[in-house]
Amino acid sequence: MSETSTTTRLPVAILPTVVLPGATLTLQLSDPRLRQAVEAARTDTNGRIAFVTDPADTLGVVATVPDVGKLPGGEPVAIVQIDTRAYVGLARTDEAGGDARLTAAVDPIIDPTPTERVTAAARELRAVLELIAPLRRSRRLPEILGSTRAPGALADAVATWAEFADDDRRRVLHAVDLADRVDAISSWARNHLAELQVAETIRNDVSEGMDKQQREYLLRQQLNAIRKELGEGDDDVVGDFRDRLEQLDAPVATKNTIAKELDRFERMSSQSPEHSWIRTWLDRVFDMPWGERSDDSLELDTARAQLDADHYGLDEVKDRIVEFLATRKLRRDRGIDERDGERATRGSGAIITLVGPPGVGKTSLGESVARAMGREFVRVALGGIRDEAEIRGHRRTYVGSQPGRIVRALQEAGTMNPVILLDEVDKLTAGGWSGDPTAALLEVLDPAQNHTFRDHYLEVDLDLSEVVFIATANVADTIPAPLLDRMDLVRLDGYTEDEKRFIANRYLLPRQVEQAGLRSDEIDVGDDVISAVIRGYTREAGVRTLERELGRLVRKVTSKVATGTETPVIIDPDEVSAWLGRPKVTDDVPERTNVPGVATGLAVTGVGGDVLFIETTAFPTGPDAEPGLTLTGQLGDVMKESAQIALNYVRSHADELGLDDEALRRRFHVHVPAGAVPKDGPSAGITMTTALVSLMTGRHVKPTVGMTGEITLQGQVLPIGGVKQKVLAAHRMGLTEVVLPKRNGPDLDDVPERVRDEMTFHLADTYDDVAKVAFA
């Protein structure tokens, strides 16, 4: 759209040719009417005049006449500068001084502020014009590009410079809309550039002469002869590809696709860019292990023994693997060919997801499963991937394109039925414009669909139904629900102290001794020393930090042995701090809870179960502090709501809890330490309630009690998740009593028996049950 200024009446003259804004021209005033119009403009309208090419045309231009003079021959001329387009109304003849002058109502058209689209189109037009300038060898065009900034003025200037025909120039004049005007000039510029480039190519080809053509021809013939002698010619490559295709044990549809691409490759010129694309694609396709499969080791007892030898505990995972092998064995023994027919292949693979804190053996378990099954093992690290093409591959048309990680894993394994470990699947992130890799995994991890998985690069169906996928994750909450629905979740909730001690003796310590170059008889580390390391230097669900500390201990022994110390070096439990430094963790629950207003809660984080303290305080209300609640500790929305529910429950049950009005007419502050760590979830509800009641009544919370559970406004205690991890965390911290929601009672069966025997569990249905335990 254009904006118009105030209507004015100006002298009007008719020109035989179309002129555009921005142009400057010299008019001969031999026509009396033109001369009268110019004189009227100079005397009556400060030199402003309107021009049209057709009296019936309502669109013309407004110009300025800065000077009038005479040519050397005495002919009068005027210098005219065309300013803007204008709507020219009906002309009329004015009689002034005996002269008949033609005037009209004129509305100048002012170009509006260009939109983003117009600005982008003008930028593209400038780029094309910069290419035209050297081909036209024009000095005027660079001047226009350097001095003209407005998109509309640029279009008008280019049309004037290019010396358009009157009809073309009239179309530009009538293009009042900026977008239409710039698009029209852009279209002309692109066509003109193509014409100039063709002409330039023809000139160059002709100028090079026949000598160069003859030389290139001879060189190419010699090059082809050399390649043929070396066996590197395209004919030999095609023949090799065809031989490999005949021997390929791939599905018929895949072989047909390869044959079509091979025909195209054979007919295509080696100078074509697509020639190298197709050859690279053929190499990638033939690198796939079509028809190659590992023979499963279906001896169930041997497989179970292998799993037990590699990992301690993890019975649920081992049972799932043995069940999978038992299914394969039974189908084989009964003559059911899993590869016979599409229906048989669906669901024959396995997708197991190991969810648990770091250091519990999720990643190493995948390699152990592959050994137990007699299959190849490939690990695919997914942490931080944010591009869908990493899973599905790139389109062949992209420079540097390649297949996705699933296809590359099959190529690395060399078989179509390996064990593929998808490590850290919970660390995948959506990449915005680059797609969502978790969505790309939906087909990969669906047993009903992955028998026809299609990589964007290969564009042929791949049967992934025989692949055993094992995914690992620290938490399941960040895995999208559709992807989680396709997984067989197996939770690894961490180890007890006894299990850690066993793992250290059987796996960790021997490995560190071997890596340090020691012999087993040169170092003596007893169970009491390992227990001291576990209690004083680690507080984790897994054993990664434990192995790191044992490695430090072994290396210090190595340095002494290397300097001639008598062996064996015996580590005394009382000297652990002399070897490893002061303890890194302490049991600070009694110290933290020795004042009213502090309660011990249990939570699950990305590193397993953990103990968190809920601290509360209160201060009188005043001008700067009104009754209410302040929350700190980087809490999530759900946890903030839990704190508000806890305070409102206490207020509404003040009589039952023995609280007076004065205790409630204060502002309360609830803080959860470790403020740099985000926290969320409803399971701290009863802990917050207990901390507030402790603060208001002045009663201490028992330091040996940890608690977890969601609370309602009526005081009901609702069930939560992660019971096993929370109980193990309480056990590590030295707590002897745990308060759980009553409906979580069956979950205690997952807790190791040794831990259950050492701890007392209280199942609460309402908050009254919690208070009886917390303040006993």
Write down the residue that tokens 């190659």 correspond to: 292
More confident residue, 156 or 331: 156
For residue 626, what pLDDT is reported?
66
Question: Encoding tokens for residue 386?
Answer: 């944010």
Q: Do 736 and 653 share a structural domain?
A: yes
Tell me if the bond preceding 596 is cis, omega within 30° of 0.
no
Percent of the chain having pLDDT more than 90?
Answer: 15
Q: Do 59 and 39 share a structural domain?
A: yes
Domain closes at, from 430, 465, 491: 491
**In the predicted model, is pLDDT for residue 1 greater than 50?**
no
**In the predicted model, is pLDDT for residue 750 greater than 50?**
yes
- Name the residue among 702, 707, 700, 714 with its Cα closest to residue 684: 707
CATH number, position 382: 3.40.50.300
Please report which confidence band the pLDDT of residue 542 belongs to, taking 50, 70 and 90 as the band edges.
Answer: confident
Alpha carbon distance 191, 48 (integer Å) = 37
Q: Do 571 and 643 share a structural domain?
A: no
Give the CA count within 13 Å in the CB-facing half-sphere of 119: 5
For residue 623, what pLDDT is reported?
58
Mean pLDDT of 15-22: 89
Residues 398-420 pLDDT 10s: 887 888 899 999 999 999 989 99
- Flag whether 361 is marked binding: yes
Please report which confidence band the pLDDT of residue 397 belongs to, taking 50, 70 and 90 as the band edges.
Answer: confident
196 within a domain of the structure (yes/no): no
Q: Do 474 and 509 share a structural domain?
A: no
Please report which confidence band the pLDDT of residue 641 belongs to, taking 50, 70 and 90 as the band edges.
Answer: very high
Total length of the chain = 776
Please report which confidence band the pLDDT of residue 2 belongs to, taking 50, 70 and 90 as the band edges.
Answer: very low
Q: Do 548 and 433 share a structural domain?
A: no
Alpha carbon distance 175, 59 (integer Å) = 10
**In the predicted model, is pLDDT for residue 99 greater than 60?**
no
C-alpha 648: how far from chain center: 41
Q: Residue 261: which H helix or E strand, with range?
A: helix 252-267
More confident residue, 555 or 337: 555
What mean pLDDT is reported for the chain?
Answer: 84
- Name the residue among 151, 208, 212 with its Cα closest to residue 177: 151
Q: Do 381 and 268 share a structural domain?
A: no
How many CB atoms within 10 Å of residue 288? 21
Between the CA atoms of 17, 23, 24 and 26, what dihedral angle is there, to the nearest 10 degrees?
A: -10
Residues 600-611 pLDDT 10s: 999 887 677 788
Pairing between strand 705-707 and 710-711?
A: unpaired
For residue 275, what pLDDT is reported?
80
128 within a domain of the structure (yes/no): no
Bridge partner residues of 289 (DSSP)? none
Question: Encoding tokens for residue 217?
Answer: 């021809």
258 within a domain of the structure (yes/no): yes
Pairing between strand 76-88 and 59-70?
A: antiparallel
SS3 percent helix, strand, coil of the chain, rounded to 5, is 50, 20, 30
How many CB atoms within 10 Å of residue 513? 20
The DSSP code for 567 is S
More confident residue, 298 or 24: 24
CATH number, position 540: 1.10.8.60
**In the predicted model, is pLDDT for residue 436 greater than 50?**
yes
- Name the residue among 473, 467, 457, 464 with its Cα closest to residue 382: 473
Pairing between strand 523-524 and 453-454?
A: unpaired
Please report which confidence band the pLDDT of residue 431 belongs to, taking 50, 70 and 90 as the band edges.
Answer: low
For residue 36, what pLDDT is reported?
86
Alpha carbon distance 70, 77 (integer Å) = 5
Q: Do 530 and 480 share a structural domain?
A: no
Q: Do 369 and 482 share a structural domain?
A: yes
Question: Encoding tokens for residue 244?
Answer: 């490999």
Instruction: Provide CB contacts within 8 A for 38, sequence distance 6+.
Output: 11, 13, 27, 29, 49, 65, 68, 78
Please report which confidence band the pLDDT of residue 337 belongs to, taking 50, 70 and 90 as the band edges.
Answer: low
Q: Are 232 and 240 in contact (CB under 8 A)?
A: no
Question: Encoding tokens for residue 712?
Answer: 């309602």
Q: Do 463 and 351 share a structural domain?
A: yes
Alpha carbon distance 379, 477 (integer Å) = 23
For residue 572, what pLDDT is reported?
87
- Name the residue among 600, 618, 619 with its Cα closest to residue 610: 600
Q: Are 161 and 20 in contact (CB under 8 A)?
A: no
For residue 341, what pLDDT is reported?
45
Please report which confidence band the pLDDT of residue 739 belongs to, taking 50, 70 and 90 as the band edges.
Answer: very high
264 within a domain of the structure (yes/no): yes
Alpha carbon distance 289, 245 (integer Å) = 13
Q: Are 61 and 19 in contact (CB under 8 A)?
A: yes
Instruction: Provide CB contacts within 8 A for 214, sequence distance 6+.
Output: none
Would you put residue 163 in left (φ > 0), alpha (ψ -120 to 50) or beta?
A: left
Instruction: Provide CB contacts within 8 A for 208, sequence distance 6+.
Output: none
Question: Encoding tokens for residue 24?
Answer: 């400057």
- Flag whether 543 is marked binding: no
Q: Do 51 and 65 share a structural domain?
A: yes
Q: Are 343 and 292 in contact (CB under 8 A)?
A: no
434 within a domain of the structure (yes/no): yes
Alpha carbon distance 126, 131 (integer Å) = 9
Please report which confidence band the pLDDT of residue 496 belongs to, taking 50, 70 and 90 as the band edges.
Answer: confident
Between the CA atoms of 230, 234, 236 and 241, what dihedral angle is there, to the nearest 10 degrees?
A: 140
- Name the residue among 168, 170, 175 with its Cα closest to residue 192: 168
- Specify the 3-state DSSP secondary structure of 78: strand
Mean pLDDT of 28-38: 86
For residue 587, what pLDDT is reported?
65
Please report which confidence band the pLDDT of residue 595 belongs to, taking 50, 70 and 90 as the band edges.
Answer: confident
Question: Encoding tokens for residue 287?
Answer: 């690198």
339 within a domain of the structure (yes/no): yes
Q: Which domain holds residue 347?
A: 300-491
- Name the residue among 83, 87, 149 with its Cα closest to residue 113: 149
143 within a domain of the structure (yes/no): no
How many CB atoms within 10 Å of residue 196? 15
Q: Are 181 and 116 in contact (CB under 8 A)?
A: no
Q: Please measure the distance between the N-terminal and C-terminal CA atoms of the chain and give it in whole angstroms.
A: 81
Domain closes at, from 466, 491, 516: 491
CATH number, position 33: 2.30.130.40
> Which are the catalytic amino acids?
683, 726
Mean pLDDT of 176-182: 90
Q: Which residues of 720-758 are buried (b: 16+ CB within 10 A; e: fewer)?
A: bbbbbbbbbbbbbbebebbbbbbebeebbeebbeebeee
Q: Are 462 and 393 in contact (CB under 8 A)?
A: no
Bridge partner residues of 598 (DSSP)? 615
Mean pLDDT of 76-99: 77
Phi, psi (degrees; rounded to nearest 5) at 317: -65, -45
Q: Do 340 and 424 share a structural domain?
A: yes
Q: Which of 62-76, 201-215, 703-717 has the lowest mean pLDDT?
A: 201-215
CATH number, position 696: 3.30.230.10
Across 309-313, 368-372, 583-587, 765-769, the highest mean pLDDT is recorded for: 765-769
Please report which confidence band the pLDDT of residue 364 belongs to, taking 50, 70 and 90 as the band edges.
Answer: confident
Mean pLDDT of 368-377: 87
For residue 742, what pLDDT is reported?
92
Please report which confidence band the pLDDT of residue 61 belongs to, taking 50, 70 and 90 as the band edges.
Answer: very high
How many CB atoms within 10 Å of residue 238? 17
How many CB atoms within 10 Å of residue 109? 19
Write down the residue that tokens 């330490």 correspond to: 673
- For the chain, what is the domain count? 5
**In the predicted model, is pLDDT for residue 231 greater than 60?**
no
Q: Which of 3-12, 470-479, 634-643, 644-653 has the lowest mean pLDDT?
A: 3-12
Question: Encoding tokens for residue 239?
Answer: 């023949």
- Flag whether 357 is marked binding: yes
Please report which confidence band the pLDDT of residue 91 belongs to, taking 50, 70 and 90 as the band edges.
Answer: low
- Flag whether 363 is marked binding: yes
Q: Do 570 and 647 share a structural domain?
A: no
Pairing between strand 76-88 and 99-110?
A: antiparallel
- Specify the 3-state DSSP secondary structure of 112: coil
Q: Across the beta sheet with 377-381, what order do the strands follow?
A: 377-381, 419-423, 468-473, 350-355, 488-491
Alpha carbon distance 554, 179 (integer Å) = 76
Mean pLDDT of 674-702: 87
Domain closes at, from 529, 555, 580: 580
The DSSP code for 679 is B
More confident residue, 533 or 269: 533
186 within a domain of the structure (yes/no): no
Bridge partner residues of 69 (DSSP)? 77
Alpha carbon distance 611, 730 (integer Å) = 7
Q: Are 558 and 377 in contact (CB under 8 A)?
A: no
Radius of gyration (C-alpha) of the chain in whole angstroms: 42
- Flag whether 393 is marked binding: no
- Specify the 3-state DSSP secondary structure of 341: coil
| E strand intervals along 502-647 | 523-524, 569-570, 598-605, 608-620, 628-632
Residues 259-311 pLDDT 10s: 898 888 877 777 777 888 888 888 889 989 998 888 877 788 888 888 888 88
For residue 499, what pLDDT is reported?
83
Bridge partner residues of 64 (DSSP)? 48, 81
For residue 217, what pLDDT is reported?
63
